[in-house]
Amino acid sequence: MADAKVCTEFAPAKVNLTLAVGRPRADGYHPLDSLVVFADWGDWLEVREGDSLTLSLEGEAAAPLRGEPQNLVLKAAYALRAAAERPELTAALTLKKTLPVASGLGGGSSDAAAALRALNRFWDLGFSTRQLAEIGTVVGADVPACVHARPLRMAGIGEQITPLVAWPQLHGVIAHPGAALSTASVFRAFDGADPDPLQAGPVPAAGDFASAVQHLKAGRNDLEAPARGLEPLIEATLAGLAGLDGASLTRMSGSGASCFALFETGAAAQAGAKALRAAYPDWTAQAVTFGGAA
């Protein structure tokens, strides 16, 4: 995928299968405990030689980002260059955006993680995945998890990563009703309910679909209730997913408004996505596979 001239990297959608959140710490950050997986659907980043460090955007989904002077991709590039102590390094980056912005799918963080992985190869820096994840902590709380891009348990404020050694590949449908939801506003609503301190659970292990669903049903997304209070379309999205044939579990991802449903087979997920698109043509409904533990 890489040579001296071009390097490409996939930035998969991140889905929080569970998300437990505690009351904010003294520094304002929220402790969390989340089971995270990554889909075979996402954005693409392309890196070429350039005279400086630049970023261009492609795709209809990139429209909300065009007014930003510097998004997380460039922030990650600068952070990597600083960590390498190589300020002379340059590259021309192109982000081909597919994932909806502000949708609870970690698109910006995954794009930043893709930049770290791609530029590490493009610039031949030799950083390990663990080192890239550490560099990612200065870019955003979700970036370290996205650097790993495999089933994992994310704790602390996102920097504590535990890869899952036993987690199955899962089939699902991701649905987004078209509403952009500010993460900050969801957390403000969450804090307004005076949340309890976080009680972290054990690292999960599930060898097959049935045991994974059983484990997940014991979990939750603590941001779902405050997000539903801010955006009524989340309720409709969850109901639409729950009504699909074969949907075993439905939940909101991250801070919303995207939601997901899990299915036992890829065929059931494909049929579910098709039915949801027919019923709600203005929504995004994507059948996906969440990769299992390596």
pLDDT, one tens digit per residue, over 52-72 is 999 999 988 878 787 775 689
Task: Please confirm, yes or no, whether 142 is among the known catalytic residues.
Answer: yes
Q: In whole angstroms, what is the distance from residue 44 CA to residue 51 CA? A: 22
**pLDDT band, very low/low/confident/very high, at 3 (cuts 50, 70, 90):** very low
Q: Give the start-end residues of each E strand in 65-123.
A: 91-96
**CATH class of this structure's domain 170-290:** alpha beta
pLDDT in tens, 227-267: 999 999 999 999 999 999 999 999 999 999 999 999 999 99
Distances (CA, A) of 240 to 247, 253, 257, 260: 10, 15, 13, 10
Second-level CATH architecture of 6-163: 2-Layer Sandwich (3.30)
Q: Considering 14, 43, 96, 222, which one is annotated as catalytic?
A: 14
The answer to whether 86 and 124 are in contact (CB under 8 A) is no
pLDDT in tens, 176-227: 999 989 999 999 999 999 998 898 777 788 889 999 999 999 999 999 999 9
3-state secondary structure of 238: helix
User: β-pairing, 53-58 with 249-252?
Assistant: unpaired
Distance of CA 181 to the CA centre of its chain: 15
Q: In whole angstroms, what is the distance from residue 268 CA to residue 248 CA? A: 11
Which position has the higher pLDDT, 207 or 33?
A: 33
Q: 74's torsion region: left (phi>0), alpha (psi -120 to 50) or beta?
A: alpha
Name the residue ranges covered by the structural domains of the chain. Answer: 6-163, 170-290
> Which residues, including other chains, have CB under 8 Å from residue 63's CB and lie 6 or more apart?
none
Query: Residue 247's pLDDT is what?
Result: 98
Task: Please confirm, yes or no, whether 5 is among the known catalytic residues.
Answer: no
Q: Considering 43, 111, 142, 222, which one is annotated as catalytic?
A: 142
Cα 168–127–114 angle (5° rounding)? 55
**Is residue 126 over pLDDT 80?**
yes
- What does pTM read for this prediction? 0.95
Task: From 111, 201, 122, 97, select the one nearest 154 (Cα to Cα).
Answer: 201
Q: In whole angstroms, what is the distance from residue 46 CA to residue 147 CA? A: 16
pLDDT in tens, 129-175: 999 999 999 999 999 999 999 999 999 999 999 999 889 999 999 99
